[in-house]
Structure 1
Amino acid sequence: MSELSGRTEGKVIAFSGPKEGAGRTTLLLNLAVLWAGMQKRPVLIVPLDPLARQEHTFYLDIKTPVTAADIVKSLGATTIAVAGGLLRGKISMSQYGVGVMPLGNTRGQVSAMSPRILMPILARLSQTFDIFLDIDSSFPMQSFAFDIADKVFWITQATRNHLNTTVKMFNEYKEMSFPMERLDVVCNMYDMPGSIAHEEVDRFFKSLGKDVSVFLPWDDSVMAASNRREIEAVSNPHSDWVSEGLRILIHRIETVTPSIRDWMSSVSDEDFTEASREIWTALVGGGAGGGGAVPKFNHEATAEEEARMSFWDELKQRVHKEVIKALELERIVISDESNSEQTRKRVGEIIEEILQKQPNLQFSREQRVRFATELLDEILGLGPLEGLMRDPSVTEIMVNSFDKIFIEQKGKLTLTKYRFRNNDQVVQVIKRIVAPLGRRIDESVPLVDARLKDGSRVNAIIAPLAVSGPSLTIRRFSQKPFGPEDYYRFGTISRECMDFLKECVKIRKNIIISGGTGTGKTTFLNALSTYIPSDERIITVEDTAELRLQQVHWISLESRPANIEGKGEITIQDLVKNCLRMRPDRIVVGECRGKEALDMLQAMNTGHDGSLATIHANNPKDGLTRLEAMCMMGSADLPIWAIREMVSSAVNMIVQLSRFSDGSRKVTYITEILGQKDGIIHTNDLFRYRQTSIDEETGKVQGHFAATGNKPSFYDDFKSKGINIDESVFAAPNTPAPPKVN
């Protein structure tokens, strides 16, 4: 691949955005036709669409486009590396000098196109074409496409959903060190009824450090042209939309200087995952080439492998139906948990009996065991997820689509080799999870939160909300709750910090545990709760019950969603209010995320000291701001000064948890809330975690926990309760400890 390094002449322009429906594809098609007509160099549109929709070819009147998968099959990956004119001749061209190269004709073919496979094709084609990448907002390889683009047009609308999503995605791009100067903002259809005023949109992007390159108006003729299968720049080139709006973007493209890039430098071996290799083998055959080369094409192997996979799935479905019939005849109830082991044994026997009756079934022993295990998991469990659920080291399972299952293991995300047969199987597994809980999921109720019998938390979402297929997320918890020694071993917190928090719990300080998603807030809250004396009455309130307290005098409450008729909902706010009538000594709220925060703070202020709760925030300051916002949700009539007074008087401390690049979680702040003055809540950092470096060999984060030198304002409370804490604990490093007073 070295000969490809730095040999690009064409411009690579990417078109993306926060959500679908912003007119991205229409805009790209018109710009592509205009740009191709202004120069001698043709334009190639590459749709990066996980759903394999072929809108571009429809409008450009290309009947049977040649896809990237077709090119690999016909030329082979090795030929692609040296094919110039041969590859160029494969592209499907329109009369406008614009070509289209979809990744594949099916979703399976698209999912097989990893960056490792696609890069050599784009590298060669860029020597002939200017490349326009149409990036679907849900496309999994968006980051690699941005890396190779000289310019990214961010197509958005003037709606709250588009702008909120933009903030999140811009922050992610910044964290990935993406050069934001390459990104141009286009606000399309800005004057649609109900849109946010364009002046406010302009201020919004300025706050993000970006200017809006152009505000494109709503134009009925553009929609009419689309309905007539026409391109506005061709059918109505003198319209205001074209002459005033698109010409500005054309000028932006003119000013782009093509980068001198090494196409393969950003494609690591991790990008070409094991799952991608398996899909590749199923699609075009062969294996990974030597020396990191792209896998070679083998047409005969592809047909053979596809035939095997098809036979395996067909046999499984056929045997599945026969097993169900046998179970019905024997009146075996699958959902009966009282004899699950006995049921599993009998179902295994039935599967073996059916397999023995199959003519000419040439299965090895290993294949037979694997087949029976997979089918057992489908009939009695969660299908391909059962193997992951049996692995105690897997802390999170994420089903992005039926053929993409990720896991979190030791803090790292990994794409697994497991896959569902199709979307229907994913939906069936989701229904199997939620049905015993009295929950429902279908088109009318397309998302649900639930809990498995082992305590794992489940979130599922299906069509029409999940555009790329049903999605399932399972967060698992250790069967044995983590204790202080575990946290010391993980490096989550130092002994001095944990001892201090222990005493704070004992003297009934109200503590908020703050952190982002997946930082371990609930687990840490569970650990802190062990310091609550056993003679106190504890009531926990959660959206999905996850806490497992060790005390005997503990009552666990869980919220309830509305039923099918939209009635019967019991919110966390309702439960917190009810807690006050149950004579609690301590109230523990698993997660404050709405207006229940106001009731929680009122409880803390009215004799329920020592309460604990978690919130989502990235640092203590953000945590306080979020608390204020949640309180305003509960009572918009309260002035902000009153809310801040309530927050500062109710909350004593915030413990901040953060997740680092190596997957580790650490307590990064222990912050005291001092009170309100002049309308501002003042805080006092007592302990902090300071990262110093990253180990080059292991990638582990290096750092240390240290006191800031600030002593808590409630230090005398420890003495009044008979607890002795040495003041030297709060001394900053390299500073003398305060003198001891006899």
Structure 2
Amino acid sequence: MPSAVLGDGVPQVVVDRQAVALVKDRIARQITEYRKTQPSVAVASVEQRARDWINAAVAEWSDAAAAERGVSPTPAEDAALARAVFDELFRAGRLQPHLDNDLVENIFINGPHEVWLDLAGGRRERVAPVADSEEELLELLRRLASADEGQSERTLTTASPMLALRLKDGSRLQAVTAVSPRTYVTIRRHRVQEADLGDMVRLGAINPTLASFLSACVKAEKNVLIAGPQASGKTSLMRAMLKEIDPNQRFATIETEFELFAHTNGFHQQVVAMEARESNGERGPDGRLMGEITLLDLMYRALRMSLSRIVVGEVRGPEIVAMLQAMTNGQGGNLCTLHASDPSVVFDRIAELYLLAQGNMSDQLAYRQAANGLDFIVFVRMLDETQIGGQRHRFISHVLEVTGTGEYGRPATNAIFTPGEEFGEVRAVPRMYPACIADLRRVGFPDHLLSPSYDSWAGQPLSLKVGAA
């Protein structure tokens, strides 16, 4: 088995797929027999027993391969074979090495024979296939979609050709088949799961001034909407901001797929974590998809649970109505994220989502409730220079304070942080005090940080190929 360079540039052993299939089939039969005799055995015990069987089977294969080739396989080859068999039986098969690679940000599968990785820093590389046929790829996806760790079971069939799934490591998988010429899969990985605001400073997404300001917003129970384009780092920033909530405070997280991990991070003790559920594809007498539980359904239940805060991983539909209703009803400290291409379009995006809701919803109602409910909009930007030999940069570019209703019924804002483009800085720099500065002072915010002369980006220049416009 020769070595190859895959994904992150580190030489890796190319595993003999025929050997993997032979050993896998043997171990699968042993597992089936073992479970028949021990029907209540824990999964962890099965995995440990399987590791022993795999090691024994690989040792036998290695001896046979040595006799056939005249050269013994190396320990690295034996270990790679054992790992590949275990991944096929209990994890994500040939996908697993990419899920284990901390440098991988996204995985794109265009049919069984074409796999690409987006790596940290912006490189995109093609790597070996994760399946040998469409049927094998679909079987892998169906196995990943089987019910696991409390997640409702998802299906992928010609009748239900789209699959949204959270993998064991928290990665988000989206797949489509049957309606496309081949099966397409996109996996977005969460490389920054445990970060706090200090870690976000070290990653360059914020500076110490912004870290102190965002911490104060959370502690002062301000309602904050984090906006930005796809893959700009909104969820990572929200995870970090959640670490500013008192560990014993009881709050809810509402998500399509669990991505915030507040209920498993070992920091918070009182998290009511709720996840939406897809339907089984059938409709009831009322026309509603049977088995479906939407974010809006969960929002209304959360409002009755006497929680201190509600956090929505991403508002993408009618649930924005319930979210802003919670904010305008005096529920402070709520957080959510929203896709938006620019800070100037955030309120129009909210209005668009309002119009998706049933009832007498209008853009003017959306503007009024946004003006009354939101305290701050934090905009996260992703600046991609990979096409000219640079890197991807993710950072906060704006923090806007919502101060009520302005002209033409639209929300009025104060620009607390904006890019310092007049001196070549594309990231957020302080511009003015917010109207609610007294509330932030009461939770310990040192307001001298908002002096325009006090900018903690100094000494941390962004390595851009093209500077500010």
Range into which the TM-score falls when normalised by the shorter chain: 0.7 to 0.9
Structure 2: gaps of 5 or more residues: 8-13, 283-288, 385-390, 456-469
Counterpart position of 1:556 = 273
Give the Cα separation in 2 of the matches to 1:722 and 1:478.
27
Counterpart position of 1:713 = 435
Query: Rg bigger for which structure?
Result: 1
Compared CA separation, residues 539 and 376, structure 1 to 2 (3 A): closer
Counterpart position of 1:523 = 236
Compared CA separation, residues 579 and 637, structure 1 to 2 (3 A): same
Give the Cα separation in 1 of the matches to 2:56 and 2:337.
48
Alignment of 1:302-317 (within 5 A): 312-314=16-18, 316-317=20-21
Q: Which amino acid aligns with 1:459?
A: Q
Counterpart position of 2:303 = 580
2:57 to 350, 369, 388: 350
Counterpart position of 1:648 = 371
1:659 to 382, 385, 401: 382
Single out whichever of 577-586 and 684-693 deviates more from structure 2.
684-693
2:65 is the counterpart of 1:365: no
Q: Offset of 1:331 from its aligned partner?
A: 5.0
What RMSD over aligned residues (CA atoms) do the two structures have, in Å?
3.2
Alignment of 1:392-431 (within 5 A): 392-420=102-130, 421-431=132-142
Alignment of 1:677-716 (within 5 A): 677-690=407-420, 705-708=428-431, 710-716=432-438
2:175 is the counterpart of 1:460: yes
For the Cα contact (< 8 Å) 2:354–2:363, is it kept in 1? no
Counterpart position of 1:494 = 207
Give the Cα separation in 2 of the matches to 1:348 and 1:488.
44
Deviations 1:20-79 (A, max 9, x none): xxxxxxxxxxxxxxxxxxxxxxxxxxxxxxxxxxxxxxxxxxxxxxxxxxxxxxxxxxxx
For the Cα contact (< 8 Å) 1:398–1:407, is it kept in 2? yes
Give the Cα separation in 1 of the matches to 2:104 and 2:443.
43
Counterpart position of 1:633 = 356
For the Cα contact (< 8 Å) 2:99–2:189, is it kept in 1? no
Counterpart position of 2:447 = 726
Q: Offset of 1:404 from its aligned partner?
A: 2.5
Give the Cα separation in 2 of the matches to 1:553 and 1:372.
40
Give the Cα separation in 1 of the matches to 2:92 and 2:314.
28
- Give the match's secondary structure for 1:468: coil
Q: Offset of 1:429 from its aligned partner?
A: 1.7
Compared CA separation, residues 317 and 552, structure 1 to 2 (3 A): closer
Q: Please, what TM-score do these two structures have when normalized by structure 2?
A: 0.79
- Give the match's secondary structure for 1:591: coil
For the Cα contact (< 8 Å) 2:62–2:72, is it kept in 1? no
Give the Cα separation in 1 of the matches to 2:142 and 2:23.
22
Give the Cα separation in 1 of the matches to 2:381 and 2:45.
42
Q: Offset of 1:683 from its aligned partner?
A: 2.2
Structure 1: gaps of 5 or more residues: 1-272, 277-308, 695-701, 735-742
For the Cα contact (< 8 Å) 1:686–1:730, is it kept in 2? no
1:668 to 378, 397, 405: 397
Give the Cα separation in 1 of the matches to 2:351 and 2:104.
36
Q: Offset of 1:486 from its aligned partner?
A: 1.3
Compared CA separation, residues 714 and 351, structure 1 to 2 (3 A): same
Compared CA separation, residues 715 and 452, structure 1 to 2 (3 A): same
Deviations 1:440-467 (A, max 9, x none): 21211122222223333222222x1232
Counterpart position of 1:451 = 166
For the Cα contact (< 8 Å) 1:399–1:472, is it kept in 2? yes
Deviations 1:100-135 (A, max 9, x none): xxxxxxxxxxxxxxxxxxxxxxxxxxxxxxxxxxxx
Give the Cα separation in 2 of the matches to 1:534 and 1:373.
38
- Give the match's secondary structure for 1:630: helix
For the Cα contact (< 8 Å) 2:249–2:269, is it kept in 1? no
2:97 to 380, 383, 387: 387
Counterpart position of 1:137 = none
Counterpart position of 1:605 = 328
For the Cα contact (< 8 Å) 1:406–1:413, is it kept in 2? no
Q: Which amino acid aligns with 1:348?
A: N
Compared CA separation, residues 560 and 355, structure 1 to 2 (3 A): same
- Give the match's secondary structure for 2:435: coil
What percent of counterpart residues are identical? Answer: 23
Counterpart position of 2:222 = 509
Single out whichever of 627-636 and 598-607 deviates more from structure 2.
627-636
Give the Cα separation in 1 of the matches to 2:19 and 2:449.
71
Give the Cα separation in 1 of the matches to 2:186 and 2:290.
26
Higher helix share: 1
Q: Offset of 1:422 from its aligned partner?
A: 2.4
Compared CA separation, residues 724 and 361, structure 1 to 2 (3 A): closer
Q: Which amino acid aligns with 1:502?
A: S
Counterpart position of 1:141 = none
Give the Cα separation in 1 of the matches to 2:85 and 2:314.
38
Give the Cα separation in 1 of the matches to 2:427 and 2:324.
33
Give the Cα separation in 1 of the matches to 2:81 and 2:276.
40
Q: Which amino acid aligns with 2:224?
A: I
